[in-house]
Amino acid sequence: MKEQFFGKPFLSSLGILLGSFLLAIPAYYLHVGWLVLVGVAGVFIFLAARNPVIALGGVFLELISHPHGYLFFTDVPMHLSLRMTIFLSFFLGYVIYLIQTKTFPNCSKFCIMVFLPLILAVGIGSVRGFFLQEWTTAFQDGNAYLYLFYAIPICSLIWNQSARHFFLQAFAAGVVWNILLSLGILYVFSHFSESFLFEAYRFLRDIRLAEITQLDSGVYRVFIQSQFFTFVFGLLLIPLSFQLKNKVGTVRCIVVFAGVVSVMLLSLSRSFWMGWLVAFSILVVLLLRTGYSFRDWSRFIAVGFSALVLSVVIILCVSLVPFSKQPLGGDELTRTLKTRTQTDVAVSSRWMLLDPMMKKIQEHPILGNGFGSSVTFISDDPRVRELHPDGQWTTYSMEWGWLELWLKMGILG
């Protein structure tokens, strides 16, 4: 396990993530994000021109460790974020690489077939969006799909064992970073003064890194969209736990899996829970077909139970040690988890959105309404009620994500 996930590339990647976050703090308050972006652009142009695989590793590392790519940003002379800078500089360097090597992207037929349905769906959504909606709104809604251009180098480069190993280690580094970041935010909001928390919240909000909500006495929800990759990593650990042969490997697996479970609890995301439960159920069915022994299954259950207990201990320790300003105990945690499984404002708003979405889908069920298509519904969200007392809200960014794909890109989407 150590050799597979936690070698030198892992340590280097984790060090880069930590250094970047520490650099983001002075860059934010001194308003010198543009200077950092210039340096990042130079690095990625150089890397992509010399070794696109390593450059893609940097792209991948940023994508799985920051939900919106706004760790660094600037509005002078134009609005630009870290993710946009990496995208533009990578492809500039990649074009230089192609010219230097006198090659042309040669995508494999299999890779093209994998991406083709998605590319067609995005194409339909883009064309219909520009014709049926305001083109600026359509672009703002669909511009994230420009990242499909990464499919060109992904499908063209040679992925040998060394390259795959490098990406796996970068993935593990991003996952561990999400765990450490989630627990670190919990510690800060459990121990520091209100004035400090105000600044911390503003910083995390402006770089679009995390959503922090106090739900009960001493209980905080720490939600980071990139926590999704942590749950994916947790699924990888499950079959790995059947292969453990020594105590050191078992303890290491329990600790890492406990970090995954602690993030799962801190996120308090019903969507993550539901998705993980479905994936876990399918994975268990597949494992049942492999013929593992009763002893193997006993080891797996023991690892899972130990990780669950350790995750609760980790959350309590981070929240309370050394001297928390908030009372916290098992009752508060249990009450919060119970609340998140019951109906609240977010759930009721989603149900009220469902019927208007279905009516909008029925207008163009085959080809969709295009990017930028909006839906008007009544929301119970207090933030919406503050702006519109009647609760009426119009948006092109919706919950029910799979239905949103159908609404905008048609049945192919």
User: For the segment 198-245, what is each residue's pLDDT rounded down to a tens digit?
Assistant: 899 999 999 999 988 877 656 788 999 999 999 999 998 888 888 877
Asked, as a colleague might, if the bond just before 77 is cis with ω within 30 of 0, I would say: yes
CB within 8 A of 173, min separation 6: which ones?
A: 9, 10, 11, 13, 14, 17, 61, 65
**Residue 378 CB burial class (10 angstroms; 0-12, 13-18, ≥19):** middle
Minimum mean pLDDT among 99-103, 148-152, 339-343, 366-370: which range?
A: 339-343
Residue 364 Cα distances to 77, 240, 407, angstroms: 40, 45, 8
Mean pLDDT over all residues of the chain? 87
Banded pLDDT at 322 (limits 50, 70, 90) = confident
Q: Please, what sign has the CA dihedral across residues 297, 299, 300, 301?
A: positive
Q: What does the pLDDT look like over 6-63, one tens digit per residue?
A: 889 999 999 999 999 999 999 999 999 999 999 999 999 999 999 999 999 999 999 9
Structure tokens at 362: 């029925």
Pairing of strands 375-378, 73-74: unpaired
The total of other beta-carbon atoms located within 10 Å of residue 334's CB is 10
pLDDT confidence of residue 405: 93
Tell me the percentage of the chain whose pLDDT exceeds 70: 93
What is the share, in percent, of the chain residues with pLDDT greater than 90?
Answer: 48
Whether residue 162 is predicted with pLDDT greater than 60 in this model: the reply is: yes
Mean pLDDT of 332-361: 71
pLDDT of residue 177: 95
Instruction: Give the pair of three-digit tokens for residue 100.
Output: 């230097």
What pLDDT is attached to residue 220?
82
pTM: 0.85
Mean pLDDT across 131-160: 88
Query: What is the distance between the alpha carbons of residues 363 and 358, in angstroms, rounded to a whole number?
Result: 9
- The continuous run of DSSP H or E covering 20 comes out as helix 8-30
Q: 79-93, 221-235, 299-313, 373-387: which has the minimum mean pLDDT?
A: 373-387
Alpha carbon distance 212, 219 (integer Å): 10
Cβ atoms within 10 Å, residue 169: 24
- In contact, 234 and 261? CB cutoff 8 Å: yes
pLDDT of residue 228: 92
Q: Tell me how far apart the alpha carbons of residues 346 and 357 are, in angstroms, rounded to a whole number.
A: 16
Query: How far apart are the C-alpha atoms of 234 and 257, rounded to whole Å?
Result: 6
Q: Flag the least confident range among 213-217, 261-265, 406-410.
A: 213-217
What was the pLDDT predicted at 190?
A: 85
Element (H, E) at 52: helix 52-65
Closest by Cα among 258, 264, 257, 230 to 64: 230
In this structure, are residues 236 and 5 in contact, taking their beta carbons and an 8 Å threshold? no
Task: Say if residues 303 and 250 touch (Cβ distance below 8 Å).
Answer: yes
**Rounded distance, CA 32 to CA 20, Å?**
14
Distance CA 224, CA 184 (A): 12
Residue 329 has pLDDT above 60, yes or no: no
